[in-house]
Every structure is written in C-alpha cells, then in structure tokens.
Amino acid sequence: LRIMFDTHGPAEGSIEAPLTVLAGLQQKGLVRHIGLSNVTPAQIAEGRRIAEIVCVQNQYNLAHRGDDALIDDLAR
C-alpha cells in the first residue's frame, strides 16, 4: 500500500481506510502479504494494529538517510 499524502515523501495522515480494505481481502485469501510504502513511524504503528505488516519500503539510499532510526526500529 503506497501512501501518497505528499509527493515529496512520507506525511502524516490516517491509513486506516485503505488498509482495512486490504486486511479484509487478506482474510478472504485474496491477498497474501501486506507491505507499506512511503509511510511514517506513526502510520506503521497504525498499520500494525490493523494487519500484519511484512515490509516497509521508504526511500532510503546514500543520499536519503532520514529513516535511519526507523530502520533500526523495524529491525528490532
């Protein structure tokens, strides 16, 4: 699920509505895994309350290192 509240990177906002739809499809066996893209730590926490999140794909490379703390938290 790619969140696009801001085209320049993650921005705060609720992801409950679209994620609840995906979680319902997962319960019906139509979706195997749910991952998030372009999200904030708060949105990841919200997502984990709704469904199992198996991956997070935010922009991260040598030039964009703003998510160092988030990556450490996800690794734990």
Split into its structural domains, the chain has a count of 1
Please give the pLDDT value at position 49. Answer: 96
d(CA 51, CA 40): 16
For residue 9, tell me if it sits in a domain: no
**Inter-residue contact 31 to 25 (CB < 8 Å):** yes
Please give the pLDDT value at position 8. Answer: 67
- Output Rg (C-alpha) for the chain, integer angstroms: 13
For residue 41, tell me if it sits in a domain: yes
For residue 67, tell me if it sits in a domain: yes
For residue 2, tell me if it sits in a domain: no
pLDDT in tens, 23-48: 999 999 999 999 999 899 999 999 99
Q: Name residues whose C-beta falls within 8 Å of residue 36's C-beta, 6 or more positions apart in sequence.
A: 1, 3, 15, 43, 44, 47, 53, 55, 56, 57
Residue 68: give the domain boundaries.
16-75
